[in-house]
Amino acid sequence: MIIKSGVKTFGFWLSVVSVIGGVIVCFYIPFNHNQTPIQGKIFLYFVLLLLIGIYGKLLWDCNKLLINTDSKTITFKNRLTNKEITFPFGYFDGYIVSYQPTKIGSAKNIYLIKNKIFIKRICSFTYSNMSELENSLIPIKNLGSFQFSYWKSIKILFKKSVID
pLDDT: which is higher, 34 or 142: 142
In three-state secondary structure terms, 89 is: helix
Report the Cα 82 to chain-centroid distance in Å.
16
Q: Which amino acid appears at position 70 of this protein?
A: D
Looking at residue 36, its pLDDT comes to: 65
Looking at residue 86, its pLDDT comes to: 93
Q: Report, as an integer, the average pLDDT of 6-19.
A: 69
Using the predicted structure, report yes or no on whether residue 120 has a pLDDT greater than 80: yes
Using the predicted structure, report yes or no on whether residue 77 has a pLDDT greater than 70: yes
Q: Report, as an integer, the average pLDDT of 81-86.
A: 86
Contact 108, 96 (CB under 8 A): no
Using the predicted structure, report yes or no on whether residue 109 has a pLDDT greater than 80: yes
Cα–Cα distance list, 147 to 86, 88, 138, 144, 151 (Å): 29, 27, 22, 11, 11
